[in-house]
Chains A and B, each alone.
Chain A
């Protein structure tokens, strides 16, 4: 698995500890896919409605809608998937309407929590296999904003569990073909997202091992919110030894930024604090590299008061550069 080939897979399962930027990354990957000429679907499964604000669109639902040229957004839930599935296999509108009352699904999903997951992945598989009238796949690339690391293994192993549970019939077949998709290393990649902090990195390493165990191919690990390095090596060396607060104050003042030695000391202290943050990132990046057999895809920190289309577009640009 190398960075440049990642978008050539058919399904990217994006996961990560809550809050690290899983949805952001999924959106940026999908946009990068569409902008590099792939017909792409971005799929949300937990009904959080994160994407409308990232693409500046009305709420997403079960209908696939083009939100950018070549990029289709859809929000799927277990109920709609079940209804579609029952109609498909039992051909019975009446039955499916009866079954798909909210309590019925509540029942099915609490009775066997895996059921909901099978329905959701089943729907993704339907999209992945779908072909247009001309025989071509409808989508070249599907990006799934999957459940967080804590649930991803249960989510992806639900179909396998179903295969074990149900010994015949269309459901078994359905589950079987979903398992095939998930474990087909050429079709599906799991893409964990993390930030360079202790807890998320630990969770990512554990999650990556568990995904491998499941037989799911591990894609690049996305390292989100990487802080920029602001100093080249030579300038860094000057800061570490030699450059006095007085000298800094003089140069700054001469350049039009009025500064006293005390202010220069404050600047140095800020730089030191920043260096400590960067050092922690370096340490954690090393931990990822050492314990993980997958390339890292780094996305920079983009501070914005409201994180939206402009930021997603910029991050997609970074991804396009990296996969080129």
Chain B
């Protein structure tokens, strides 16, 4: 394919992620939605387990059939063994339960915890505040890490709107709970939420009237109560958030950025690579997933131009001619796609330090069982059974 621009990714090829699955105690898969984060998380976990390490994969929104293959039939907070895989457990994140557990842990007494959990606003917060899901994923990770049952924890991340959300999640949540602004209108030491509207100065009075006109009064009362019951717990939250951050930044962790060869996914990956570098997070590499498989050596001598010209001249022939023309056209399209995809990846990598790029071809037709995950694994961490071949 050198006729159309060589191999723009050559300089980034530096082995696979074998070392990572053999050594890292925490692996975080991240990237845009739909690129294959969950698939890669499961694949890396298989790789770690194959090396005799007790491993757990924490997934978020796996496709239905993949979930079944991992033995995740019901939504449970418990890790359960993956059928047919020695040493590998899987679990699915349940946001609400993780948040509840967090409140239980930090609340000074059980009554307080109960009050928070039954608050209408709390119930909304667990599902609607941006970053909550990310934070809960990190929280769960930390909990698993602290328990120390596993040699390797692989974690999938939510389909974040932007890469930033993920690293910022702990800070964002604590900022929110500290609510500079909310304190302002609640006033320090104020107790009865019914007085919220009265107890503040003129300016906020107007604001409160406007706000309750918009939100309805009940909402504000719930909110007032919510913040009061959280009082004193912020410190615990904050401390936890920075522990998680430190854990992620430690050398035992490895971030794997996943992308598909498409511009938006690559932009997201690029942004993430920058961000990880800025924060001093340990980046293990970029996985480019679902690449069009390159032509096999037996077709290396056939140029795209030859294929297209021959296809054009056969297009009006008999059935056999047209069939051959279609084969040639398909080949030319794919060969060009291969080159363009790799060029798009190379362009996105300009000025970043992904450490290494690992390419995973598109497998046929989808990846939803352990066998297919092993096949992905041959590209990612070179695990033995290489007889399983990629889509040609």
Interface residues of A (CB under 8 A from B): 17-20, 46, 86, 90, 95, 98-99, 103-104, 106-108, 110-113, 115, 165-166, 169, 171, 197-199, 202, 230-232, 234-239, 243, 247-248, 251-252, 255-260, 262-274, 276-277, 279-280, 303, 305-307
Contact = CB atoms under 8 A, between A and B. Distances in A.
A171 B213 contact: yes
Given A17-B34, A19-B32, A251 B321 contact: yes
A254 B319 CA distance: 16
Contacts of A202: 64
A115 B214 contact: yes
A108 B185 CA distance: 13
Interface in B99-155: 121, 124-125, 128-129
B319 to A, nearest CB: 5
Contact of A279 (B34, B326, B365): B365
Contacts of A46: 161
Given A19-B34, A231-B323, 5 more contacts: A95-B206, A111-B220, A255-B310, A270-B327, A273-B392
Given A103-B180, A111-B223, A267 B32 contact: no
Contact of A166 (B216, B299, B324, B344): B216
A229 to B, nearest CB: 10
Given A251-B314, A277-B364, A256 B331 contact: no
B122 to A, nearest CB: 12
Across the A-B interface, give the 4 residue pairs with the lowest CB-CB distance, nearest first.
A257-B310, A103-B181, A255-B310, A235-B323
B319 A237 contact: yes
B302 A280 contact: no
28 contacts: A18-B159, A19-B33, A19-B265, A90-B210, A95-B206, A99-B207, A99-B210, A99-B211, A110-B128, A111-B121, A111-B211, A115-B214, A166-B214, A171-B213, A171-B214, A198-B65, A231-B322, A231-B323, A232-B322, A236-B323, A237-B319, A251-B321, A252-B314, A255-B324, A257-B311, A270-B295, A276-B365, A280-B365
Nearest to A277: B365
Contacts of B313: 255-256
Interface residues of B, number: 74
Given A255-B324, A263-B302, A305 B343 contact: yes
B329 interface: yes
A270 B121 contact: no
Contacts of B366: 197-198, 280
